[in-house]
Structure 1
């Protein structure tokens, strides 16, 4: 029976975890899966202030701040709306009218 060095085993396990995480994060989205839109980037593209963006999205300012700080994730419907706004930035102004 082969005796393995515990430190070597630990380092090997950590290396496996890191490499697996990198592969998962760099993998393209699965069919039907959509990448999460970046609220701050979308808001900046539209030129809206946080309060205007929140109004267009139908959520509170604190929700938008939380999304931008990555403390919480937008709901699926909010993500879809952001995808629409990302593909057509003028839509955000229309939602404010």
Structure 2
């Protein structure tokens, strides 16, 4: 039992020391975190216009809002995120406006 208590005390002292020295970083901007990760894949078109992909739903829906594509959760209305590329540029949807 002394060994178990020593382990807990060691973990607590280590955590407290790292926190006091600022070595544990906390995200201060709660709005700036990924909701989900996505990747684009090439899907071969089969005969009769069908595509080969999973038939299970992702429980997420894409929504076009003010010309940008947002992904929102079907289960939690408060979870919505802007779809961006690898340089954090918003993915456009709908009609493109000429510059």
TM-score bracket, normalised by the shorter chain, equals: under 0.3
More strand by share: 2
Larger radius of gyration: 2
Q: TM-score, normalised by structure 2?
A: 0.26
More helix by share: 1
Q: TM-score, normalised by structure 1?
A: 0.27
